Structures are given as structure tokens and as C-alpha cells.
Amino acid sequence: MENPDRVRLASVELRKAGYQFREPETASLDAIRAVHGKEHIDRVMLSGHFEAASLAAGGALAAAELAMQDEPAFALVRPPGHHAAANRAWGMCYFNSMAIAIKNIRPRAKRALIIDIDLHFGDGTVSIFRGDQNVKIVNPWSVDENFEYLDMDESRYLRQVETAFQDFDYDIVGVSAGFDTYLEDWGKLLKKEDYYKIGKAIREGAKKCGGHRFAVLEGGYHPDLLWCIKSFIEGFE
């Protein structure tokens, strides 16, 4: 389940490993309005999740800013955001942190490639950028016109991540980093070391845009989450 230990335990472990942490500021109302409508923002305020959701969005935006300063960054935030659409919250997502980061970093990074490795299709992000020629979104496994996902394995998954970088020019790579595709989580597919390979493939792919890359935590609910995150970061950094 979604709970504070998801990020708390990961932060303890990552600090131990020597990673630098930066406390984000909450995203400003203007930054949130770049994605979400007034009524939606009002509803989130009434729901009592505004503080946490705007802080998560602020973390994603800070990570995108670091990425543009040639510093790969991982936003260790909750709640997740990729199901949140412009005017709709669902699936524990209130504000779409990835979309808020990408829209607000636009003056410096016009074209974005978003790779959503969460088990669940990032429908909110897709709906927000529908028709936007400057944003390409790839959801490995969840979409495949050949229904190849029916017999998905780790190497096919990795290939989908690698091919995400083809046929599109981008200035920044954002990763909606959910870890519920993990072997012991709902997805029952990827091992810890597969997250290292995915992180590394994204680091390689981001070379085409000067290495500008950042990731935002989405789902992932198994107690091994911290190890999956650490493995990803080791490949991604």
C-alpha cells in the first residue's frame, strides 16, 4: 500500500550509500496551473492532499531543474502522480508531478521524452500531453500494438525501454519510475538487477540530449522497493 515508509526507508538507505539529498519546495500554484484546472486544484485542497501533492510536484520540478544543470536526479516523492489528469484525480494520484515538471521546464527543454516504467499505464500523463508534438511518452509493457506484452519477459521489456529513444529528438528525459513491475510486487516480472539495466539504458539514451535526465517515483509497494530504487539509481546516475 501507499505509505510513508516507501520513501522513508529508501532515503535512509540512499543516504547511507552517500547520495546527496535536497529538500524540495512545494510547487507554486502557477506551476500547478500549467497542468491542472482551477476546479481540480480546489478539489485537491478540499481533499486534504494538497500539501503532500504539491510538495511531490515541487520535488519533480526540482529534479528536472537539476537535470538541466547536468545533474541527474531522482525525486523520491509521494504520492505518485501519473494517473492524475488535468481535471481528475485517481489511483492515489492528485497532481501529475511529471507533467508539472515537464511543462515548467519548457523554456529550457522544449522537447521531452517520458518513459513510464510503472506497471500501470500512465493515463494521466498521456491525456495531459495528447496532441503535443513535443512530448513522446513510452509505457513499456502496458502498450504494444502487437500484443507482445502477453508473453513479456525481462529482455523484451528492456528492449522496449531502449527503443523508446528512437525516432524522436528530445531535450530532456523524464522517467515515471514506478517499481510495481518488480518480481515480488503486482507485476511479477522484473528483478532488482533489471532496474539497474533499465537505469543504465536510460542513461545511455539520454546522451543524445546532453545527459539531461531525471526520474520521479510513482508506484512500487513491496518492502524491497528501496533496493529496486537503489539498483535503478546505480544504473541511472
Q: Return the active site residues.
A: 83
Applying CB under 5 A, among 59, 81, 187, 219 the residue interacting with Zn ion is: 219
Compute how many residues bind Zn ion; rule: CB under 5 A: 6
The three grid cell numbers given for residue 46, joined into one nine-digit string:
478540499
Which pairs from 105-108 meet CB under 8 Å and 24+ separation?
105/61, 105/64, 105/65, 105/67, 105/68, 105/172, 108/68, 108/171
- DSSP three-state, residue 132: coil
Between 6 and 120, name the residue whose CB sits nearer to Zn ion: 120
For residue 136, list its beta bridge partners: 113
**Other beta carbons less than 10 A from residue 225's beta carbon:** 23
CB of 142 to Zn ion, least distance (A): 10
Task: Assess 118 for contact with Zn ion (CB under 5 A).
Answer: yes
Task: Assess 119 for contact with Zn ion (CB under 5 A).
Answer: yes
Between 31 and 177, name the residue whose CB sits nearer to Zn ion: 177
Between 181 and 231, name the residue whose CB sits nearer to Zn ion: 181
Interface region with Zn ion, contact rule CB under 5 A, candidates 110-118, 124-132, 137-145, 208-216: 110-118
Task: Assess 178 for contact with Zn ion (CB under 5 A).
Answer: yes
79 preceded by a cis bond (ω within 30 of 0): yes
For residue 182, which phi and psi values (nearest 5 degrees)?
A: -55, 150
Task: Assess 65 for contact with Zn ion (CB under 5 A).
Answer: no
Applying CB under 5 A, among 6, 120, 136, 230 the residue interacting with Zn ion is: 120
Applying CB under 5 A, among 65, 116, 123, 180 the residue interacting with Zn ion is: 180
Question: CA 198 to CA 195: how far, in whole Å?
Answer: 5
Interface region with Zn ion, contact rule CB under 5 A, candidates 18-26, 108-116, 174-182, 208-216: 174-182
**What's the N-to-C CA distance of the chain in angstroms?**
28
Question: CA 51 to CA 56: how far, in whole Å?
Answer: 9
Interface region with Zn ion, contact rule CB under 5 A, candidates 32-40, 54-62, 155-163, 171-179: 171-179
CB of 83 to Zn ion, least distance (A): 8
Using CB under 5 A, list all residues that contact Zn ion.
Answer: 118-120, 178, 180, 219
